[in-house]
Amino acid sequence: MRLKIGAPEPRKSNAFRGMIAVAALAAGGSAAFAQDADKTLIERGRYLSTASDCVACHTAPGGSEKYAGGYAVQSPMGAIWATNITPSKEFGIGNWSEEEFARAVRDGIAKDGSHLYPAMPYPSYAKITDEDIAALYAYFIHEVTPVDKPNVKTELEFPFSVRASMAGWNMLFLDRTRFQPDATQSAEWNRGAYLAEGPAHCSTCHTPRNALMGEDASQTYAGGSLGLWYAPNITPHKIAGIGSWSRDDLTQYLRTGNVIGKSQAGGAMAEAIEHSFQHLTDDDINAIVTYVQSVPAIGSAETVSRFDYAPPNETEAVLRGAPGADDPGFRLFSGTCAACHGVNGQGAKDYPSLYNNAVTGADRPDNLIATIVEGVHRNAGGVATMMPGFGPAAYPTESLSDQEIADVSNYVFATFGNPAVKVTADQVTELRNGGPKPLIVKLAPYTPYAAAVGVVVFLLAIWGVLRLIRRRQAA
C-alpha cells in the first residue's frame, strides 16, 4: 500500500518530496520506489524528532503513551502543558495540514490561530528548513501511534493568560528567517550550526534571558537559569566557559553525560542526552562540537575555571575557611554524601570526585542545590546512572530541610570547590520554588494598577491638551 503523505495545499516543501519521488521513478519507474521515498522521508522525520527532543516535553513522565502530552513545562509564569501531538483526530494533530503543523512548530501559532507560549521552543525551531518540516510532518502523521487522550488546559494568571500578547513578544524576539548557511564556513560547521541553533535548541537553555524572557542575543551560550537547574556557559572561554575541553571531552559529554574530572550531566541536560544527543550520528555530533567550539567566547568575573578547583590538603582546607568536625555541614556530609563520594570528596568508580567538578567549582550554587534536591538520573551510553535526591517531597525519610541543604552545600563549596560561594536556607527555598522571578513576572501583579495608572495619565494628558487649546482660544 502506498502511504499518503502531505498536505493538500501545494507547498515549497512538496518540491523536496517531488525530487525524491522523481529520482526514485527515474531510477526504477515503479510505485515501489516512490514508497521507498516516503519511507526515507519518514525515517528522516523520525531522526529529526529525536534531534529536536520533541518527546522530552510531549510525553508524560514515565509515559508509555509517546507524544500524547501531559507534561507540564514549569515556567516562571506557571505550568504550561505540552499537548497531544499524536495523529489522534480528536485530541491530537490528526486533522492538521502540513502548513498548520509548520506554523505551530516554527511560528508558534496553533491550528485555531491562537499563539503558543515559547515554552514550546519555536524560536529555535524557526530555523528548521522546509524539507525537514516536511519530514517531521510525515513522521508524526504516518508513523506515530495515535492516542485519544485529551489535553490539560494551561491556565496562567492574568496578564499571561492573554495569548495574543505573544504577538508582541514575537515581534521583539522571534526571528523568522530559516537557517542560512555561511558560505565562508565548512559543510560540517554549517551542519553543526543548523543542528545546535535549530532542532537541538542549545540556546533555549544555555542563553540567558532578559527582563521580558527573550533570549539575550549578545550573550549566546553564556549560561541561563532554568529555575532549579542552571545551564552553564558553554562558549569557548578558557575560564568562564568550556575552552579547556578537548573535542573528545565535548563529544564524550554529549554521548554519555560524563567527563571524569570535569562534569556530569543532571537535570534537563541528562534528559536531553538520554532522549536526544546520544542517538545522533557520529557525523552530527562532530558537527555540533565543531560549531559550539567556534562561537564567540564570553567571559565573566571568575578568575578560576570551575573545572580547576584541585583536591584540598588539610591545611589548605583550613586556610580556605573549611568548617571543622563540629560543623553541621560536615556532619551532614559524612552521614549523607561520603558513603559514595568519599570522606575526602575523592569519589570512587561510578561516583565523581567533588573537586575538579563543574558543579562545586561554579560561581553560583544552583546546580549543587539542584543535585542534592533531585539527584542525578541518566540513561546514556549503555549505563544507567543514579544518585538519589534528598528533596523532602521525593524521599520523606531521607529528606534534608532547606537549612540542611544550605549547610551541606556550604561545607562542600568551602572544602572541595569554590569557597567564595555561600548558600542560605532562603536561597534554597527560592530555587526549589522555581528560582528568582524575571522582572515581567514580578511586575505582573501590578498590571491592573499599571493599566489604571495608564488611564489616569491618559486622561490627565487629554485634560492638559484641552486646557491648552482653551487658553489659546481665550488668548
Using CB under 6 A as the binding rule, whether residue 351 contacts ligand HEC is answered as yes
Task: Write the CB contacts of 409 (distance below 8 Å, at least 6 apart in sequence).
Answer: 329, 365, 368, 369, 372, 423, 428
Pick from 21, 42, 77, 120: which binds ligand HEC (CB under 6 A)? 120
Smallest gap, in angstroms, from Cβ of residue 142 to ligand HEC? Answer: 14
Smallest gap, in angstroms, from Cβ of residue 291 to ligand HEC? Answer: 9
Using CB under 6 A as the binding rule, whether residue 141 contacts ligand HEC is answered as no
Which of the stretches 19-27, 183-191, 227-235, 421-429 binds ligand HEC when contact is defined by CB under 6 A?
A: 227-235
Subset of 83-112 contacting ligand HEC (CB under 6 A): 83, 85, 93, 101, 104-105, 110
Which of the stretches 26-34, 171-179, 349-357, 426-434 binds ligand HEC when contact is defined by CB under 6 A?
A: 349-357
Rg of the chain over all Cα atoms, to the nearest angstrom: 26
Residue closer to ligand HEC (CB basis): 34 or 169:
169
Largest Cα separation within the chain, whole Å, is: 91
Pick from 86, 154, 219, 220: which binds ligand HEC (CB under 6 A)? 154
Subset of 121-140 contacting ligand HEC (CB under 6 A): 121, 125, 136
Subset of 382-401 contacting ligand HEC (CB under 6 A): 385-388, 390
Residue closer to ligand HEC (CB basis): 101 or 309:
101
Pick from 227, 232, 323, 329: which binds ligand HEC (CB under 6 A)? 232
Subset of 179-208 contacting ligand HEC (CB under 6 A): 196, 200-202, 204-206
> Per-residue x/- marks for ligand HEC, 427-456, CB under 6 A?
------------------------------
**Burial classification of residue 56, based on how many CB atoms lie within 10 Å of its CB (0-12 exposed, 13-18 middle, 19 or more buried):** middle
Taking the C-alpha atoms of residue 274 and residue 385, their distance in angstroms, rounded to an integer, is 11
Subset of 315-334 contacting ligand HEC (CB under 6 A): none
Residue closer to ligand HEC (CB basis): 117 or 173:
117
> Per-residue x/- marks for ligand HEC, 272-311, CB under 6 A?
x---------------x---x-------------------
Smallest gap, in angstroms, from Cβ of residue 408 to ligand HEC? Answer: 5
Residue closer to ligand HEC (CB basis): 34 or 292:
292
Smallest gap, in angstroms, from Cβ of residue 180 to ligand HEC? Answer: 19
Smallest gap, in angstroms, from Cβ of residue 405 to ligand HEC? Answer: 8
Residue closer to ligand HEC (CB basis): 16 or 307:
307
Using CB under 6 A as the binding rule, whether residue 54 contacts ligand HEC is answered as yes
Which of the stretches 24-32, 181-189, 223-231, 310-318 binds ligand HEC when contact is defined by CB under 6 A?
A: 223-231
Residue closer to ligand HEC (CB basis): 16 or 96:
96
Residue closer to ligand HEC (CB basis): 110 or 297:
110
SS3 string, the chain, reads: CCCCCCCCCCCCCHHHHHHHHHHHHHHHCCHHHHHHHHHHHHHHHHHHHHHHCHHHHHECCCCCCCCCECEEEEECCEEEEECCCCCCCCCCCCCCCHHHHHHHHHHCECCCCCECCCCCCHHHHCCCCHHHHHHHHHHHHHCCCCCCCCCCCCCCCCCCCCCCHHHHHHHHHCCCCCCCCCCCCCHHHHHHHHHHHCCCCHHHHHCCECCCCCECHHHCCCCEECCCCEECCCCCCCCCCCCCCCHHHHHHHHHHCEECCCEECCHHHHHHHHHCHHHCCHHHHHHHHHHHCCCCCCCCCCCCCCCCCCCCCHHHHHHCCCCCCCCHHHHHHHHHCHHHHCCCCCCECCECCCCCCCCCCCCCCHHHHHHHHHCEEEEECCEEEEECCCCCCCCCCCCCCHHHHHHHHHHHHHHHCCCCCCCCHHHHHHHHCCCCCCHHHHHHHHHHHHHHHHHHHHHHHHHHHHHHHHHHHHC
Smallest gap, in angstroms, from Cβ of residue 450 to ligand HEC? Answer: 24
Which of 170, 367, 181 is closest to 265 using CA atoms? Answer: 367
Written as one letter, the residue type at 383 is: V
Subset of 11-40 contacting ligand HEC (CB under 6 A): none
Which of the stretches 12-20, 141-149, 257-265, 315-323 binds ligand HEC when contact is defined by CB under 6 A?
A: 257-265
Size of site (CB under 6 A) for ligand HEC:
76
Residue closer to ligand HEC (CB basis): 38 or 249:
249
Pick from 3, 25, 73, 213: which binds ligand HEC (CB under 6 A)? 73
Left, alpha or beta for 29 (phi > 0: left; psi -120 to 50: alpha)? left
Using CB under 6 A as the binding rule, whether residue 77 contacts ligand HEC is answered as no
Which of 402, 302, 419 is closest to 360 using CA atoms? Answer: 419
Pick from 359, 406, 414, 421: which binds ligand HEC (CB under 6 A)? 359
Using CB under 6 A as the binding rule, whether residue 42 contacts ligand HEC is answered as no
